Amino acid sequence: MMSKEETEKTFRAWSTYHGLYLHFTSGYDFKKYSGRGKWNNLESMEKHFSKHESNGLYSSQRMIFKKLGMQFPSRPELIYFFLSQFTAGNWYPTKFDSYLYDEYQNKMNNFNQLIKHDTEEIRIYMEEYELGFNKLFTLDGINHPGIMKLVLSDSISIETFTVLDIILEFTKRIDMRLSDPLWDKISKLSKDYRPFLSIDAYGLSSMILRILTKG
């Protein structure tokens, strides 16, 4: 039997996961509702876990969330961990990967360097295909926009894509013109991720401009 502290921490991890999962996979707004919903009570958690438990044995999910709750005792820490998984397309507790968390920490701790590196990749792409910057966000017949190709090929990160959208708001224009499941997936992920990124838009836009215009 879990102690009161273990139960509270397990619940915090489970309820935070549930709210964030819905934020990224449905129309639920985690920020607007502060992560709260009909699942935000111990009874809901116990009902969920009990579906996978019998003979007094705890389910693997209960143990996963217990471990996460003990490892990340505060809600901001849990949000950070879940973002490291969701932004990599890793949605399910049994698939959580500590490597993704370490990689995410490195990206966030060196955020400006990440944007700088990715902007260099954009500049190389523009030179290779003889494109102006605005062309990256333009539909050309049946071809995907260049910015989409850069994300799909992992040449740039979802963070850089989202930073550019915060500055330029290009996804709104493409959303209206492009009907494509791959684009919809990227666009939604970026929009859902955006509220969790706190950036210096002016400073980053200046840095991006310097890199793209250097001789």
Give the tens place of pLDDT for each residue, 130-140.
999 999 999 98
Q: Tell me which fold the domain 111-213 belongs to.
A: Annexin V; domain 1 (1.10.220)
* Domain residue ranges in the chain: 4-109, 111-213
pLDDT surpasses 90 at 50: no
The Cβ of residue 161 has, within 10 Å, a number of other Cβ atoms equal to 22
Query: Going by C-beta distance under 8 Å and a sequence separation of 6 or more, which residues neighbour residue 72?
Result: 13, 78, 80, 81
C-alpha 23/C-alpha 79 separation (Å) is: 12
Give the tens place of pLDDT for each residue, 74-110.
999 999 999 999 999 999 999 999 999 999 999 999 9
Give the tens place of pLDDT for each residue, 184-214.
999 999 999 999 999 999 999 999 999 999 8
Burial (CB count within 10 angstroms: exposed 0-12, middle 13-18, buried 19+), residue 72: buried
Position 26 confidence tier, pLDDT thresholds 50, 70, 90? very high
Residue 28, both tokens: 């639920």
Predicted TM-score of the model (pTM): 0.94
Give the tens place of pLDDT for each residue, 165-174.
999 999 999 9
